[in-house]
Amino acid sequence: MKTFKIINKFLVILAFSLGISACREGKIVPRTYEETVVESPLEKMTAKMDASSLPPGHPDISQMSQMASSTSSIDFKWIAPQGWTEKPGGGMRLVTFTANDSSPIECSIVSLGGMAGGLEANIRRWMGQINMPEIPEDQFNAFLQKQEEIKSEGGLTINLVDLTALQNKEPQEAPSMIAGILTIEDKTVFVKMTGTKKAVQEEKEHFRQLCQSLQLIHE
């Protein structure tokens, strides 16, 4: 029995020391590994273009964006509104804009294949994204009827969807969105600006300018 008692004590001590050793810190050495990233075909091609793009903050690089999207059969040209900073996109995202600090918005242009879910479905999804409650069908339809349709310089028809119109009761800091949708051949293009309600309303005019500046360039 005595031997067992000793063995028991030893085992208990062993258990403790194992536990303690787990807490000891090691030196900070990095792990290394090889990461393979398989991209969808469209992304792969545009990514190559991105590699030669300039760091953020460079003014008006619409030429670069043009090259970035030249791999898809549809090329766009646009003019960044005054005061907006342009950043090159990646993959389906053709470009991203930010405005200055006092009107914090983010605006991006995205090109998707096909119907991309349809107008209504996308609007409802966006409403969900900014936590807007669902509205009845007739109100929704009425809202859609009231939305603007603008023609850009390139002759493209863009349907604007201004969700701030449905947010009268929301505070100024509530997340909001305004989007422009155009369908060309078999692609759907979204121009989406998100930010606080106040900022979106403030930058709405710039947003319209951006949409109006959209032009197609065929190869």
Partner 1 sequence: MASVKIILACLVWLFILVFWGTVAQVDQGLYAAQKRFFYSYFFTVFGFIPLPGGQLTLWIMFINLVCAGLVHFVYKWSQIGILVIHLGLLSYFVAAFVTFHGIEESNLSLPEGEGSNVSSSYNEWELSIWPDAEESPRHVSAYDTNHFKENLRLNSTGSDFSIFVRKYFPNAEVLRGQDLTSLALNKEPEKNLPGGIFEIQTAGGQSIPFLLYGAASEATQIKIGQNRFDFALRRKRYPLPFTLTLQDFTMERYPGTETARSYQSKVKIEYDGISREVLIYMNNPLRYKDFTLYQSSYAIDEWGREISTLAVVKNAGRLLPYIASFITFFGLVVHFGIMGVLKSKSRK
Partner 2 sequence: MVKMMKWENIRDKKNTRKLFFWAIPFLLLTSYFLLPTKTAYSQAFCPLNNAPLNPQQVQSLESLKKIPILDEGRIKPLDTYARNLLLRFSGKNSFEKKDAVDWFAQLLFAAETTREDKIFLINNSAIPQALGIDPEGKRRYSFAQIEPHIQKLQELARAADHIDEKKRDIVENEIIRLYVNIELYAELSLNFAFALPHPDFTVSDPENLSKLDLPKAQEFSFWDLASRAQSLNQLADLLESSAPNAWNDRQKEIFRVMQNLFQWGNSYPNLPLRIIPSYSSKDELWLSPWDAIAQDSQEPRSLEEITLLKDLVFAYWEGDQLKFDLAAKTFTQSVNGRLKEKKLKSPGALDLEILFNRLGLFIIAQIFYFLAFFIFLFSFVISKSWLRLTAFSLVSFGFVLHLAGLIMRSIILQRPPVSNLYETFVFVGFIAVLAGIIIEFIQKEWLGILISSICGFIFLIIAGKSSMEGDTLKMLVAVLDSNFWLSTHVLSITIGYAGVCVAGAIGHAYFLQAIFKPKDKEKLISIYKILLGALGFGLTMTFLGTNLGGIWADQSWGRFWGWDPKENGALLIILWCAILFHAKIAKIIGPLGLAAGSVLGIIVVMWAWFGVNLLSVGLHSYGFTSGIALNLAIYVVIQILFLLIAYPLAKRKND
Q: Is 101 in the site for partner 1 (CB under 8 A)?
A: yes
CB of 219 to partner 1, least distance (A): 23
C-alpha pair distances (Å), 150 with each of 109, 165, 181, 197: 16, 17, 10, 22
C-alpha angle with apex 154: 153 to 158, nearest 5 degrees? Answer: 80
- For residue 80, how many C-alpha atoms fall within 13 Å in the half-sphere facing its CB? 25
Q: Are 156 and 214 in contact (CB under 8 A)?
A: yes
Q: Which is nearer to partner 1, 29 or 146 (CB)?
A: 29
Stretch that binds partner 1, among 39-47, 150-158, 160-168, 201-209 (CB under 8 A): 39-47
Binding mask 107-146 for partner 2 (x = CB under 8 A): ---------------------------x-xxxx-------
Q: Is 30 in the site for partner 2 (CB under 8 A)?
A: no
CB of 42 to partner 1, least distance (A): 8
Which residues, numbered 52-91, are part of the site for partner 1 (CB under 8 A)?
Answer: 55, 90
Binding mask 8-37 for partner 1 (x = CB under 8 A): x--xx--xx--x-----x-xxxxxxxxxxx
C-alpha pair distances (Å), 11 with each of 1, 4, 89, 141, 165: 15, 10, 60, 75, 72
Question: What backbone torsions phi and psi does residue 23 show, to the nearest 5 degrees?
Answer: -85, -15
Q: Are 142 and 135 in contact (CB under 8 A)?
A: no
Q: Which is nearer to partner 1, 33 or 155 (CB)?
A: 33
Q: Are 192 and 93 in contact (CB under 8 A)?
A: no
Q: Which positions touch partner 1 (CB under 8 A)?
A: 4-5, 8, 11-12, 15-16, 19, 25, 27-41, 43, 47-48, 51, 55, 90, 92, 101, 110, 112, 116-117, 122, 125, 129
Q: Which positions touch partner 2 (CB under 8 A)?
A: 134, 136-139
